[in-house]
Amino acid sequence: MIVLVNGRPVDESAAVIRVSDRGFLFGDAIFESMRAWGGTVFRLGRHLDRLERSAALVEFAGLPARAEIAAEVGEVLAANGLADARLRLTISRGAGRPGDYIGVEGPPTRVLSATPFAGLEQAIVEAGVRVAISSRRALPAECLDPAVKSTSRIISVLARREAQKRGAYEALLLDAGGGLTEGTASNVFVVETGVVHTPSADGGALPGVTRAAVIEAAAEAGLAVVEGPLPVQRLGRATEVFLTNTSWEVLAVVEVDGRPIGSGRPGPVARDLRARYRAMVRRECGGA
């Protein structure tokens, strides 16, 4: 596969990042995961908005212009002959020195990659997934604003490993007070008495691009959506639970910690919102 390193196309096997890069040394980097449908990235502008917000919150300087990033997205898709793809743009603060948290020797380092992706296996979508409540807590917003999409993901890595050992597809993270925040790679929604609930973005949840699109789809469907604190106990009263992210779209949860949700099958709200989300993508990208 061809990747772009600081805007230069190179085979990924030959791509080089300096060993002193601060992204490698300290996880001092931000990223965006995006999805291309028929050669068009769904809501690229929203992704770039979030990238710029992440950069501002962690005091990055020297981001490329939006038009330059958009052009590079088209270039990496074309270089790999891809129309339907998953893309990742990673930007670090640049080269530094081990043990020096402040010193930056060079401009930001950026890597843009694209890999073939046409969505989850249909069997997974139709069956739904099991999730586990992680024993690890989410990083408090006082420590790092959840709006920052940082490459420092060790909590998520360990939580997902824990979930895998317990036979679960995804792990859900709680805050210090026992409230749901998000999954390791997803936003979480809970349906109760016909109302869709989801943790608020200022309460520890990443402001996902797909999350926002699904909230729009819910409004189209006439569903009430409540964003706010979501105690984990609400899962016990839920008729449906589902996850959203760029790759999974809308993915039903059928079991939490061994306890079935609703009928134990994907419910009508999740199915309807997935269909509406895909229709939204077709309108905006002409794909899906």
User: Facing residues of 182 across strands?
Assistant: 173
288 — pLDDT class (breaks 50, 70, 90): low
- What global pTM score does this model have? 0.95
Q: What is the domain extent for residue 273?
A: 122-285
CA angle 257, 263, 269 (to 5 degrees): 100
> Are 265 and 145 in the same domain?
yes
Report the alpha-carbon distance of residue 71 to residue 9 in Å, rounded.
13
Supply the pLDDT for residue 62: 87
Supply the pLDDT for residue 230: 95
Write the CATH number for 54.
Answer: 3.30.470.10
Average pLDDT rounded to a whole number, residues 171-191: 96
Would the CA dihedral through 217, 219, 224, 230 be positive or negative?
A: positive
Q: Percentage of the chain surpassing pLDDT 70?
A: 99
Residue type, position 107, single letter: P
Supply the pLDDT for residue 103: 85
User: For 122-145, what is each residue's pLDDT tens digit?
Assistant: 999 999 999 999 999 999 988 889
Supply the pLDDT for residue 55: 96
> Are 95 and 147 in the same domain?
no
271 — pLDDT class (breaks 50, 70, 90): very high
> Are 41 and 128 in the same domain?
no
Q: Dig out the tokens for 90 from the structure.
A: 């990673």
> Are 131 and 85 in the same domain?
no
Write the CATH number for 205.
Answer: 3.20.10.10
SS3 43: coil
Q: Dig out the tokens for 78 from the structure.
A: 């074309």
The answer to whether 191 touches 269, Cβ cutoff 8 Å, is yes
Report the alpha-carbon distance of residue 252 to residue 71 in Å, rounded.
35
Supply the pLDDT for residue 201: 84
Supply the pLDDT for residue 188: 98
Is the predicted pLDDT of residue 287 greater than 70, yes or no?
A: no
> Are 138 and 181 in the same domain?
yes
CA 250 to chain CA centroid, nearest Å: 12
Give the residue from 90, 116, 142 where a domain finishes: 116
> Are 181 and 195 in the same domain?
yes
104 — pLDDT class (breaks 50, 70, 90): confident
Report the alpha-carbon distance of residue 39 to residue 102 in Å, rounded.
40
61 — pLDDT class (breaks 50, 70, 90): confident
> Are 110 and 126 in the same domain?
no
Looking at the structure of the chain, the number of domains it has is: 2
Q: Which residue has the tokens 């805050």?
A: 175
Is the predicted pLDDT of residue 196 greater than 90, yes or no?
A: yes
Residues of the chain by 3-state class (helix, strand, coil), percent to 5: 30, 30, 35
